[in-house]
C-alpha cells in the first residue's frame, strides 16, 4: 500500500534574522516527516474478545483487526458461527449488534469453557478457560483518617487466599458527580464521570513485582495486579489508602467509590498484565509489547474472571464514613 508523502520541516524560517541562535539551534533541531513506504498491508485477522465473568451472562465480541494506517473503526464480524462448550454442554450464540454475540448461559465459578468461532475465509478459532472462584474477603472497613496532613481514606479488608495458584486484580472506581467551575465559560458545570482512583498500598507482598509498573511509583497505584506467590493459602489484610481533598463548602464534590476485587484465571492475569505494561510504556525506544493471546488462529483473549464490586461512600465530615452495610455482592 502506498501512502502520501508530506514533508513538515520543523524549523521556522523567520528566525534567520538571528544568525547565531539559528545556527546553534540547527545543531539540535530535528526534522520529522511523514514518510512513504512500501509496506505490505497485512491480512485482517479475526479478533475474539471475552472475559467470561462468574454469575454474569456471557458476551463475546468479534471484530477484524485493522492495518495501522487505516482510518476506520474495527469492522464487526457479524457472520460468525460461535459456540461454547461449558462443562460438556454446548450453547450457541445469537448476534446482538454486529460485533457482540450473547449466549443463553451464565458462567459460574469452576466452570470449564471452550469457545469455537468460525468465520468464513478464516481458520477456526478455539480458546479455553476456567472460571476462577469468587475472591474470598471479609472484615471490610473504610474510614477517613483526619490526623494525616492530607486527609486519607483507608479501605481495609482481609483476602483469604485458597491453596493453589490464584491471581488477583484490585482497583477502585471513583465517581465524580456534582458541579465544577468552568473558567472558560464562567459557569458551573454538572459533572458525572467515573475513573480509576489512585491509592497507596503498603502491602509489599502483593505489590511486588507484578503491579502495574508504569503507575507503581512510591507505592501509588491505580490498580493492583498480583499472583499469590507471597500470600499462598493465607489470610492477608490489605489496606488501600486514598488521598482525599476537601472541596469548597459552597459546591462540594460528591465522590462515590466502588472497590472492585477480581479473581483471574491465569490467562486473564497474563493478558491484563501485558495490557498494563503496554499502556504504561512511556519510552519511544522500548520494544513494543506483544500482548498475550490464548486463542489458536486468531487474536484476542478468552479468559475467565470472578468479580466482587463493593460500593463505598465517603462523606467529608470528620467522622466515620458511611459504608454500604450490605454484604459483598457479586458483579451484575
CA distance linking residue 183 with residue 173, whole number of Å:
27
Residue 91 CA to residue 105 CA, distance in Å, equals 7
Q: CA 200, CA 9: separation in Å to the nearest integer?
A: 45
Nearest CA to 73 among 39, 48, 99?
99
Question: Closest distance between another protein and the C-beta of residue 233, in Å?
Answer: 24
Q: Between 78 and 233, whose beta carbon lies closer to another protein?
A: 78
- Cell numbers found for residue 235: 489470610
Please check whether residue 111 is in contact with residue 133, taking contact to mean a CB–CB distance below 8 angstroms: no
Q: Report DSSP state, residue 29.
A: -
Q: Least distance from C-beta 216 to another protein, angstroms?
A: 4
Q: How far is 27 from 210, CA to CA, in rounded Å?
A: 42
C-alpha cell at 248: 469548597
Grid coordinates given for 238 = 490489605
Q: Which is nearer to another protein, 88 or 183 (CB)?
A: 183
- Rounded to a whole number of angstroms, the distance between the first and last alpha carbons of the chain is 46
- Of the candidates 301, 306, 248, the one whose C-alpha atom is nearest the C-alpha of residue 275 is 301
Instruction: Show the cell assigned to 185.
Output: 465559560
Question: What separation in angstroms does the CA of 190 have from each of 182, 248, 268, 310?
Answer: 10, 15, 37, 25
Q: What minimum distance in Å lies between the beta carbon of 49 and another protein?
A: 4
CA distance 274 to 251: 41
Q: Which three cell numbers stand for residue 171?
A: 482497583
Query: What is the total residue count of the chain?
Result: 332
Residue with cell 481533598: 245
Beta bridge partners, 63, equal 47, 76
Residue 280: name the closest of 272, 66, 241, 267 by CA.
272
Amino acid at each position: 500500500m502506498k501512502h502520501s508523502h508530506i514533508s513538515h520541516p520543523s524549523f521556522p524560517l523567520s528566525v534567520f534574522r538571528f544568525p547565531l541562535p539559528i545556527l546553534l539551534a540547527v545543531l539540535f533541531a530535528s526534522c520529522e516527516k511523514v514518510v512513504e513506504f512500501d509496506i505490505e498491508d497485512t491480512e485482517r485477522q479475526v479478533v475474539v474478545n471475552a472475559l467470561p465473568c462468574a454469575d454474569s451472562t456471557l458476551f463475546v465480541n468479534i471484530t477484524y483487526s485493522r492495518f495501522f494506517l487505516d482510518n476506520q473503526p474495527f469492522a464487526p464480524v457479524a457472520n460468525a458461527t460461535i459456540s461454547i462448550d461449558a462443562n460438556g454442554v454446548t450453547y450457541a450464540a445469537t448476534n446482538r449488534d454486529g460485533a457482540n454475540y450473547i449466549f443463553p448461559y451464565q458462567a459460574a465459578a469452576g466452570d470449564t469453557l471452550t469457545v469455537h468461532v468460525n468465520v468464513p475465509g478464516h481458520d477456526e478459532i478455539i480458546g479455553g478457560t476456567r472460571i476462577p472462584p469468587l475472591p474470598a474477603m471479609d472484615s471490610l472497613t473504610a474510614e477517613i483518617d483526619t490526623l494525616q496532613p492530607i486527609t486519607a481514606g483507608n479501605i481495609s479488608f482481609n483476602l483469604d487466599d485458597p491453596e493453589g495458584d490464584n491471581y488477583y486484580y484490585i482497583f477502585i472506581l471513583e465517581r465524580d458527580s456534582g458541579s465544577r467551575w468552568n473558567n472558560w465559560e464562567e459557569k458551573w458545570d454538572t459533572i458525572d464521570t467515573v475513573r480509576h482512583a489512585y491509592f497507596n498500598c503498603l502491602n509489599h507482598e502483593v505489590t511486588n513485582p507484578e503491579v502495574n509498573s508504569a503507575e507503581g511509583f512510591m507505592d501509588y497505584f491505580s490498580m493492583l495486579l498480583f499472583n499469590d506467590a507471597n500470600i499462598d493459602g493465607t489470610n492477608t489484610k490489605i489496606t488501600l489508602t486514598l488521598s482525599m481533598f476537601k472541596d469548597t463548602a459552597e459546591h462540594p464534590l460528591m465522590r462515590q467509590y466502588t472497590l472492585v476485587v477480581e479473581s483471574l484465571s491465569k490467562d486473564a492475569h497474563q493478558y491484563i498484565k501485558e495490557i498494563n505494561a503496554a499502556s504504561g510504556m512511556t519510552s519511544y525506544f522500548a520494544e513494543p509489547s506483544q500482548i498475550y493471546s490464548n486463542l489458536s488462529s486468531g487474536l484476542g483473549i478468552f479468559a475467565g474472571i470472578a468479580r466482587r464490586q463493593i460500593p463505598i461512600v465517603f462523606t467529608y465530615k470528620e467522622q466515620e464514613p458511611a459504608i454500604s452495610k450490605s454484604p459483598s455482592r457479586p458483579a451484575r
